[in-house]
């Protein structure tokens, strides 16, 4: 017998089963296998448990009963979220706000990840991000995120997208470093002591010969690099976060023993990482400049 199964794993290889997989069920206990896995051994991988209290269908029945009992005891947040999902505890005892931004709780964003699961992972500012997750797709990747524009490295790190945050942070530091020669020249010439805007043009008119063209070009390219980084992260940041959230939620659902705790650990916002990123892009270029 071959059917399609969701939210279960092959009992032989333990890989998660998706709708497109070819699944074979044991005729005795109903244990699901990939067809290739079943054919490779020629029988149910749990054959030794047949006829015992550890038989697959008996254990499944016990687990389902346990889950039903736990869900019946779990508090209900609102009418839209009447079915318990790991992580709901974060939103208990909060004002009756639509934390899904109008998206149905059971809406499938991608790969079996529901809007409610995404909410419980995102945790902060979910009214904005969940509708964005619904709107964005592989064909529609662009959005606009003001926080990502003004604080690209810091925002990425705070949302725990470490790799992208570090890469953007490094390019931001480089963009600042190449501007340091011009800043030092202007400092030595007294530009930063000018308090009257009318004197700025006079300053450049009289001191332009003392400013090396290479320093001007490097500063210009640094400004362009910094601006381009901000635009790219602002436009693609929400899509990157969507992909990050979906991948992490799927991983946690498949491997975690405590889904709610891992949602809090890997999701949400880290103010500490935001401050680390802010300090790094502000002061790291000056520290590096001391040694070059």
CA–CA separation, 249 and 137 (whole Å): 17
The dihedral over CA atoms of 170, 173, 174, 176, expressed in degrees to the nearest 10, equals 160
Q: Which domains are present in the chain? A: 2-70 (3.30.40), 86-176+215-289 (no CATH)
Hey, which residues does 3 pair with through a beta bridge? 23
Long-range CB contact pairs, 79-84, < 8 A, 24+ = 80/104, 80/105, 81/105, 81/116
Strand order in the sheet with 2-3: 2-3, 23-25, 32-34
Q: pLDDT 10s per residue in the chain (292 long)?
A: 334 444 578 888 877 777 778 888 988 888 898 888 889 889 998 888 888 888 888 777 776 665 555 445 544 444 444 577 888 888 877 777 889 999 999 999 999 999 999 999 999 999 999 999 999 998 999 999 999 999 999 999 999 999 999 999 999 999 998 887 766 665 555 655 665 666 555 655 566 666 666 767 878 898 999 999 999 999 999 999 999 999 999 999 999 999 999 999 999 999 999 999 999 999 998 888 777 6
Hey, which residues does 34 pair with through a beta bridge? 23
Determine contact, residues 289/174, Cβ cutoff 8 Å. no
Q: Would the pTM of this model clear 0.85, i.e. be above it?
A: no
For residue 174, give both structure tokens: 């480089």
């Amino acid at each position: 017998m071959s059917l399609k199964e969701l939210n279960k794993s092959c009992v032989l290889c333990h890989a998660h089963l998706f709708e497109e997989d070819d699944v074979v069920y044991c005729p005795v206990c109903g244990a699901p296998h990939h067809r290739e896995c079943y054919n490779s051994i020629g029988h149910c991988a749990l054959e030794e448990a047949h006829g015992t209290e550890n038989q697959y269908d008996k254990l499944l029945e016990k687990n389902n009963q346990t889950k039903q009992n736990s869900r019946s005891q779990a508090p209900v947040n609102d009418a839209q979220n009447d079915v318990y999902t790991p992580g709901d505890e974060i939103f208990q005892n909060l004002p009756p706000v639509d934390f899904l931004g109008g998206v149905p709780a059971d809406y499938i964003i991608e790969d079996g990840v529901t809007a409610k699961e995404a909410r419980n992972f995102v945790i902060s500012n979910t009214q904005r991000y969940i509708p964005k997750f619904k709107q964005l797709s592989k064909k529609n990747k662009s959005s606009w995120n003001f926080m990502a524009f003004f604080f690209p490295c810091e925002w990425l790190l705070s949302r725990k997208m470490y790799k992208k945050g570090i890469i953007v942070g490094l390019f931001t530091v480089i963009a600042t470093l190449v501007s340091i020669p011009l800043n030092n020249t202007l400092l030595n010439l007294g530009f930063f002591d000018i308090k009257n805007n009318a004197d700025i043009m006079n300053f450049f008119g009289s001191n332009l010969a003392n400013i090396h063209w290479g320093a001007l070009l490097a500063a210009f390219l640094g400004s362009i690099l910094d601006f381009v980084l901000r635009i790219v992260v602002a436009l693609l940041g929400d899509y990157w976060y969507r992909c990050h959230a979906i991948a992490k939620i799927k991983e946690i659902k498949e491997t975690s023993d405590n889904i709610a705790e891992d949602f809090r650990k890997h999701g949400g916002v880290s103010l500490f990482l935001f401050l680390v990123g802010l300090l790094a892009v502000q002061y790291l270029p000056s520290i590096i400049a001391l040694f070059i």
